[in-house]
Structure 1
């Protein structure tokens, strides 16, 4: 037996067997290689990719930016020919001016109607005074005419003057009512004129918005993708012209459900970036996905029929890259990374919206 163990071949085979068993134990994280560090290569850099599209149709007049250029918020990206929209704005402003003039004329008509009422009231007062005078004359002459003291001609003249004065009073009262109705008509029509002015103002604002929309500007700081717009190209509302990628990035790591036990929001994370020669960045867990990735699939698997093979599901974990790291500025959405989480590491203080408890799948019955 000792001679057998002294054989070089036997020693090599034993060492190879021990090495293979050690690798298997290490790969499967079995004792004595059990570790609190969980790692996954199913992790990628994510970011907001905004597709810039026009809200109106027209010909592209200018594209002052280039592929992959860094832009600032408010910087012009694409300009659409604005001549038609400028004329529409001028037309709307002219309509608004006409409606405002009509409304101002309504106020002037109100003043005229008010003055007309005052004139009608004065005319009525004058007619009543003339009526009172004519009635007094008739009251004096009528007894005399009955007694034959006054001539028939004077009596007829006094009676005619009385009736004429009475008719003048009725006419003045009717004129006063006409003046009051004219004022009521003016005030009643004003509501329609004010509504017309409001509608014209809205039309001007819409035309101004359309004119402003001929300038497609960057909504925030970031970098551009490939520019799809070309000068002279006719575009319609919703056409995809270019993509803007803001500077905010994060990492989404898809851990297996068996790795989640003990993970908490706020735990530090090591991020190894393939594109940066395996350079490491530091981050921390922000939050966990509310469901496994299979639940968000368009075509979900139905495990209620046929044979069943248990497959470990993956849950997305959002990871924030810690600020103040120079290499973090080189991260772009879509890059592959390797994420490592030490579940025994202390938890950082997290904002109110980030949960600090273990994910639900960690609580097993």
Structure 2
């Protein structure tokens, strides 16, 4: 009988403990349920979200062999830091050739100016020859007029008159030749001056070509476009690269970080620009990051896919679509330092 009483007391104790545990579990479940319902009522949540940053390719603008690589994988770089150097021997030679061609074109302008001055001097000499020829023509005209008057009164022979007429004709021809030579010298001066525009245009073309060659020389040194962190290195020194070839990837640390959260279409009706958000990542589950909504996608994610769905084909199955929401992380840079692009995140946005 004593054994039965002991068993009964133990059973009662177990029953009480079980009841207390069950009550505790029920209370915990109730509290959890209330919190969950409160969260569902006050917040929209999704675990379909990733951390994003600008990851841009570093490309070459010229073709050549890599002479020196000055960065390592995952290395932090500052804007303007030299990433790699391409052999510029050929581009230097092209630049020197362009410089020589430009110097030659400028020298032609000097030659042209000398030609203008020389022909201008010739025209001055020709102008003085016109004056001399005109004076001789006037003298021969006077002599001819005198002989003609004397011939009428039979004081001069016909031969003298004819000789005077011949001398007058020669003086007239010489005068006309001097005038024609003067006009020709003036025309030549104008023709030479008109060539100046051609040479000046050639100089501008040569200057542009030289600038282009100097740009090519400058392009052989590739620098970091902004403060960032280099990605995986896939090139080696001595490797031949082509213009436009992607050489590396750099993560932009100046543009900040954000989250692309893909909410269901039934969740976005209460979301507004500048709405506050809380972000937790799988990598750091104990940390809460702050953010604000900066934009909502103009279309569902499916519409931006390579092969967007076409429900008019007859294979319609209603699927809840996702709307990408961009959320800018607003914490200080030190807190966001460990967040990397592509990390998974959970996002919670308070309903308006």
TM-score (norm 2): 0.86
Task: Give the superposition deviation at 1:274.
Answer: 2.7
Cα gap change, 1:179/1:325 in structure 2, threshold over 3 Å: closer, same or farther?
closer
Cα gap change, 1:343/1:115 in structure 2, threshold over 3 Å: closer, same or farther?
farther
From 268, 292, 300, the equivalent of 2:308 is 300
Task: Give the superposition deviation at 1:263.
Answer: 0.7
1:150-189 alignment runs, 5 A limit: 150=156, 154-189=160-195
Specify the alignment match of 1:254 in structure 2.
262
Q: CA RMSD in A?
A: 2.9
Task: Give the superposition deviation at 1:162.
Answer: 1.6
From 293, 297, 300, the equivalent of 1:289 is 297
SS at match of 1:85: helix
Q: Distance in 1 between matches of 2:268 and 2:313?
A: 28
Q: Distance in 1 between matches of 2:119 and 2:198?
A: 18
Task: Give the superposition deviation at 1:25.
Answer: 6.3
Specify the alignment match of 1:126 in structure 2.
132
Specify the alignment match of 2:6 in structure 1.
none
SS at match of 1:223: strand
SS at match of 2:271: coil
Specify the alignment match of 2:245 in structure 1.
239
Q: Distance in 2 between matches of 1:208 and 1:324?
A: 42
Q: Distance in 1 between matches of 2:136 and 2:205?
A: 52
Task: Give the superposition deviation at 1:16.
Answer: 11
Are 2:47 and 2:345, in contact at CA under 8 Å, matched by a contact in 1?
yes
Q: Distance in 2 between matches of 1:140 and 1:230?
A: 103
Structure 2: runs of 5+ lacking an equivalent = 1-14
Deviates more, 1:136-145 or 1:106-115: 106-115
Are 1:114 and 1:183, in contact at CA under 8 Å, matched by a contact in 2?
yes
Are 1:61 and 1:79, in contact at CA under 8 Å, matched by a contact in 2?
yes
1:336-351 alignment runs, 5 A limit: 336-344=344-352
Q: Which has the higher helix share?
A: 2
Q: Distance in 2 between matches of 1:273 and 1:34?
A: 20
Are 1:50 and 1:244, in contact at CA under 8 Å, matched by a contact in 2?
yes
SS at match of 1:62: strand
Task: Give the superposition deviation at 1:141.
Answer: 2.1
TM-score (norm 1): 0.83
Are 2:54 and 2:252, in contact at CA under 8 Å, matched by a contact in 1?
yes
From 195, 217, 234, the equivalent of 1:228 is 234
Q: Distance in 2 between matches of 1:335 and 1:70?
A: 20
Are 1:78 and 1:229, in contact at CA under 8 Å, matched by a contact in 2?
no
Whether 1:312 and 2:320 are equivalent positions in the alignment is yes
Whether 1:59 and 2:65 are equivalent positions in the alignment is yes
Greater C-alpha Rg: 2
